[in-house]
Chains A and B, each alone.
Chain A
Amino acid sequence: MQGRLCGTFIQINAAFLEGMRLEKFNNVAMGEYEPTWQSGLAKSVTFIVTEDCQLRCGYCYIVGKNNFNKMPFAVAKTAIDYILRNRDLFWEKSVVWDFIGGEPLLEIGLIDQICDYIKMQMYQMDHPWFNSYRFSFSTNGLLYGDERVQRFIRKNARHLSISISIDGTKQKHDAQRVFPDGRGSYDAVMKNTPLWLKQFPNASTKATIAHDDLPLLKESVIHLWQLGLKNVTINLVNENIWEPGDDVIYRNQLQELADYIIENGLYDTHNCSFFSKTIGKPMDSKKDNGNWCGSGKMLAIDSKGTFYPCVRFAPYSMQYKPARTIGNCYDGLDRNKVRPFLVLNRRMQSAAECLDCDVASGCAWCQGNNYDLAATDTIYQRAVYTCAMHKARVQANEYFWTQLANKLGQKSSGEAGCE
């Protein structure tokens, strides 16, 4: 380990990553991700059908949960009509109609009505999306077994993606995903998980890691794999919650997980988003100047018919700043308010330390979080609260790929240079 932290680690690591991971681990499943539906080129339209939820998760970015903002069907209908009739603005070959809350399944009746209307309108208009659409949900899973939900699933099975959020072990899940009275929701969600995995065998879950539960990371990923979820996507909380020393815990957890993966040969069959073949290299300020986030290319609609570049810019997500709208379903898109999102690039929102960072690739950000935390009302200031955590992840990746190379009988140039 000493060698990996030497002064030349970063440069050697970059070459190592470029030269080794992509080529020598070409046949390793870990770090290879299924391409998103339609290669991510589908339009994403998100309906915020309710701002209510049965849970009060500790890390939830939705700070304005309430039980009064529910989308009237008339608003959804107006928005759908606007979107389908303006093909030149919403030109993509495919569409993902996304339903979000709060907890979207609380409004399954409304969602069913909206989906029926979408299908009918796409058919009647002979819209190209009729042959290329999906309905997508991220749910807490509590209502998954409800008969109305199951009826909806049967009705739309061929066009449906449903992800249930499970954070890991019962201890980890219940540390954050709790009911208003503080009870954990793990047991309630587990009642529905077998049915979900039976209906969607290739489903993946989206887990979240926060400060308090970092020590539970390794066992949580293993637990999710043991539940049958072979692809585990995990995100760190973007907000300013990380404390000194968290990066060390994080790196150690990932390295222990790496050992487990290698010892058990899981690198060919399982996946965890913490491990990547491309993370941790310097980025060219011209060639690698794209924005990480797709906000502005997506469209989120709230119960009043207001358009947002992403749900993270809606009022209920904002802790410090006013919500940021880009039009509404009655007057249409405000083309001027969309412009900053479409021309936003990495260089113009990043501080020099990020642009010059030797392990920049794979360092993520959330545009809505950036905006909420920026010193002024701008999306052009990148929050850097996860900097140490990203670097810890890069180190853990270096460890994983080096150990894997050793196991597979390959020699890492990174090790050779540092030791």
Chain B
Amino acid sequence: MNDMYKYLLVILEKGAVPFCYYSNPDYYSLANPNFMPADVLGDIIDYAREKNLFLNFLYGKHQLPPQYETLIETVSHVKMIPLNLSSLYPDGVVVLEADESELFAEFSSDAERNVILRATAADLPHLSDIVAFLRGKFKRLNLHLVGLKSFSGKQLDLYEKELKKIAEMLSRLYKAGEAIEINVLSDRLLLHQMNNCNAGIQHLTIGPNGKGYICPAFYHDNEDDTVGDWSSAVAGNVKNQQLLDLDCAPVCAVCDAFHCKRCVYLNKSTTLEVNVPSREQCLTAHVEREISRQLLHSLRTIKPFDKFIAIPSITYNDPFELVIQETWRREVPAQASSAAADDKDYLAQIYEMQKKILRKLGTD
């Protein structure tokens, strides 16, 4: 048993609701539920009970057979459910597509609920309206940008603009004593160290096929991208598992966007390495960090925010720049020490060019 795991995510059917950055085409298209076999579910539940592991169940749009319901209720768990099951499971965490928010707001009256909102690039122009519309229907809202890996600079600008409006709303609510949370803004206010997703480190995912995955995104993207049989995976037999840890993430290790999910699936699908984020993921996290900083600054005279540690102002929006600059400080002088005298005059040029490269890499 890998003692690091705190919980397991169990995908109950192939068409389970996607709840984070990733997509699951089967969520929309599968008529047949393709549930996880009941005996596999039973084994997982027995294991979790024995090992004192918490379980998160990912539901699809189909109602589970009674036998499954009975099994699930025997263990400590959280249900993550699509909108159509939200009445059936009032304690479930509802996952909303942005265009479902209006319908959800109509019938929901629970202000203590945890809600996940998935917004695409097309939703960005009215993101603040959507969040405002959901006000009073959640205690904590987790916002996830779907398709983040292909967001353009203009879309990030739009996100920043909308996030500022949401921050203004939060500021007003906090000043009025209303303590709701919106992950991309409120989390960073409280954090003093990285609080990432930690997929594959603190939790593992089990697909309906009984295989282990780093997270649900890996399963839905490619069923073959497994870390092995679930029982072997949860026992700690995950190859190169150390690369999922912050200590092996060269960019993230120097970053203070502590709220960032540091999504290893996004990393893998954009840079081909689980431990190196894409520029888009870093830029997005730093937009959120900066607006969180401004939000906290606006609340600095209000309790309890007056006790919070200020978020420092920084000059970069992608910590990759910090790592590269450090590499250059270390490597270029070493090479230059053996360079001919006439080479040394252009080291200054290299440093200048370095700034230009970073700017170039920052443009689309």
- Interface residues of chain A, those whose CB is within 8 Å of chain B, are 35, 38-41, 88-89, 91-93, 287, 289-290, 324, 335-337, 339-340, 342-345, 348, 374-381
Contacts and interface: CB of A to CB of B under 8 A. Distances in A.
B320 A339 contact: yes
B284 interface: no
B343 A38 contact: yes
A38 B276 CA distance: 31
Contacts of A342: 320, 323-324, 327
A88 B340 contact: no
Contacts of A88: 353, 356-357, 359-360
Interface in B313-364: 320, 323-324, 327, 330-332, 334-336, 338-340, 343, 346, 349-350, 353, 356-357, 359-361
A337 B339 contact: no
Nearest to B274: A378
Contact of A339 (B247, B251, B346): B251
A148 to B, nearest CB: 35
Contacts of A374: 240
Contact of A39 (B250, B272, B276, B343): B343
A287 B279 CA distance: 27
A88 B350 CA distance: 11
B357 A89 contact: yes
B335 A41 contact: yes
Given A335-B279, A339-B279, A348-B248, A89 B360 contact: yes
B251 A39 contact: no
Interface residues of B, number: 41
Contacts of A335: 279, 361
B270 interface: yes
Report, nearest first, the 10 A-B pairs whose CB atoms are least far apart.
Answer: A39-B339, A91-B353, A343-B250, A375-B239, A340-B273, A340-B276, A88-B360, A336-B278, A376-B240, A336-B270
A146 to B, nearest CB: 35
Contacts of A348: 247-250, 275
Nearest to B275: A380
Contact of A343 (B278, B279, B323, B330): B323
Interface string B271-300: 111111011100000000000000000000
Given A91-B356, A93-B346, A348-B250, A375 B240 contact: yes
A39 B272 CA distance: 31
A287 B333 CA distance: 13
A130 B274 CA distance: 40
B240 A378 contact: yes
A378 B357 CA distance: 25
Nearest to A41: B335
Contacts of B330: 287, 289-290
Interface of B: 239-240, 243, 247-251, 270-276, 278-280, 320, 323-324, 327, 330-332, 334-336, 338-340, 343, 346, 349-350, 353, 356-357, 359-361
B272 A324 contact: yes
A126 B328 CA distance: 28
Q: Which one of A39, A336, A342 has the highest number of Cβ atoms from chain B below 10 Å of its Cβ? A: A336
A339 B276 contact: yes
Contacts of B335: 39-41
B273 A378 contact: yes
Nearest to B347: A41
20 contacts: A38-B339, A39-B336, A41-B336, A41-B343, A91-B350, A289-B330, A335-B279, A339-B271, A340-B272, A340-B273, A342-B324, A343-B276, A344-B250, A345-B327, A348-B248, A348-B249, A348-B250, A375-B239, A376-B243, A378-B243
B324 to A, nearest CB: 6
A344 B331 CA distance: 13
Nearest to B332: A41
A290 B328 CA distance: 10
B64 to A, nearest CB: 34
Given A38-B343, A39-B343, A91-B357, A377 B272 contact: yes
Contacts of B334: 290
Contacts of B278: 336, 339
A381 B240 contact: yes
B240 A290 contact: no
Nearest to A86: B360
Contacts of B240: 374-376, 378, 380-381
Nearest to B360: A88
B343 A343 contact: no
